[in-house]
Amino acid sequence: MGAKGWSWIAGAAVALFLTVGAVWSQIGAAQHTADNGKALLAALGGPFALTDQRGRAVTDRDFHGRVVVLFFGYTFCPDICPTDLQIVAEALDRLGPRADGVQPLFVTIDPQRDNPAQLAEFTALFSPRILGLTGTPDQVAEAAKRYRVYYARAQGGESDAYTMDHSAFFYLLDRQGRTARVLPHAVPADQLASALAELLDGKEEAGS
């Protein structure tokens, strides 16, 4: 591919990243106003079909009835994903027995390397409650699209030792599977625990 081709791809990637960033800036600001926040949150999420770390086919409906904290990342992530999964584990510890009502989901954005066994080994490093999900590239792309997740393979590196660029947010879903709240990367564990507790109490049900 010529220089012009690579330049066009780089420009498109930057434009996509800026668009995603603008959307998330809107969501972050809008969550402080009830009407705008609900409208933007209602646009996030929806049906997905993936495979869990035990090799079982699952859909979003399998998790209805529990509060869900959803995070997109990958097991070879050097910093963001381990940090945020540790935050999830600490938040669950803070909830104590109430954590039984929460299902943490870790959806890979790197299905080429993250098979079920790899996900199981990775999530076990943080908490046995965290369930890893993978799928075909198309299935993962569809799930990521529903939550406005940006991800792309980073340039450079060996063929099997690459990194992934990706957005990083905690998506909190109510018992009906609706996105009720979005929290940023590296949010304090006590803040995440508090937000989950409110959902467990039914105080922030989407659409309420």
Tens-binned pLDDT, residue by residue, of the chain (208 aa): 444 443 433 443 443 444 344 444 545 544 444 445 677 888 899 999 999 999 999 999 999 999 999 999 999 999 999 999 999 999 999 999 999 999 999 999 999 999 999 999 999 999 999 999 999 999 999 999 999 999 999 876 567 789 999 999 999 999 999 999 999 999 999 999 999 999 999 876 655 4
pTM above 0.85, yes or no: no
Q: What is the DSSP letter of 177?
A: S
Coil vs helix vs strand at 135: coil
Q: How high is the pLDDT of residue 82?
A: 97
CB-count exposure of residue 198 (10 Å: 0-12, 13-18, 19+): middle
The annotation status of 64 as a binding-site residue, yes or no, is no
Residue 32 assigned as binding residue: no
Residue 184's beta-bridge partner residues?
A: 169
Distance separating alpha carbons of residues 111 and 108, to the nearest angstrom: 6
What are the two backbone dihedrals, phi and then psi, of residue 117, each rounded to the nearest 5 degrees?
-65, -40
pLDDT in the model for residue 109: 98
Closest by alpha carbon to 108, among 67, 51, 60, 159?
51
Q: Which pair of structure tokens corresponds to residue 204?
A: 């922030």
Domain 46-200: CATH architecture, name and number where available: 3-Layer(aba) Sandwich (3.40)
Q: Is 166 annotated as a binding residue?
A: yes
